[in-house]
Amino acid sequence: MLWTPKIRLVTVLCSIVFVAGTALQNYVIIDLDLIEASMRLKGAETGDAPAYLSALRLVGNVFIVGNALGLLVWFRWRWLFWPVLAVNVGQAFGVYVVPFEVHRAAIDEHGWPGVLPSLVTDGGAVILSIVLIVAYVRSRRLTRTGDPVPL
């Protein structure tokens, strides 16, 4: 797929927001106390909280790097489409994968701003994934080889 100017701009702007939101979530919102509180809400033992926090931060770091890859879309490199789509689809699954108790604990500790970065990054990734898939399908159906579709 060729990157049209609008799709490029949307992807780069979303990537900036997603990098910032994921970093905020990963290093400011999520801490050991929050993980322990979410485990207590779920009725689980808190002894594994440090390992769970480390794993959660590792996943967050992968998404920070993956979303930063989306910034390179500005250079119109065609090969970036599939990695950027994969990162956003993966982040979109955060809506389903992150246990409700983590959000509940974040609200208890930080108020509604505690869940805002997660809602923006995961919910935004759902929307961006749909936009990228629609743009890809349109570019395959409505163009000759090499011509971008105006969106």
pLDDT digits (tens, 9 = 90+) for 48-65: 999 999 999 999 999 999
pLDDT of residue 111: 93
pLDDT of residue 3: 84
Confidence band of 147 (pLDDT split at 50, 70, 90): low
pLDDT of residue 145: 57
pLDDT of residue 98: 84
Domain borders along the chain are 5-142
Q: Are 4 and 135 in contact (CB under 8 A)?
A: yes
Asked if the model's pLDDT at residue 108 lies above 80, the reply is yes
Confidence band of 100 (pLDDT split at 50, 70, 90): confident
pLDDT of residue 142: 62
Cβ neighbour number for residue 58 with a 10 Å cutoff: 10
pLDDT of residue 151: 54
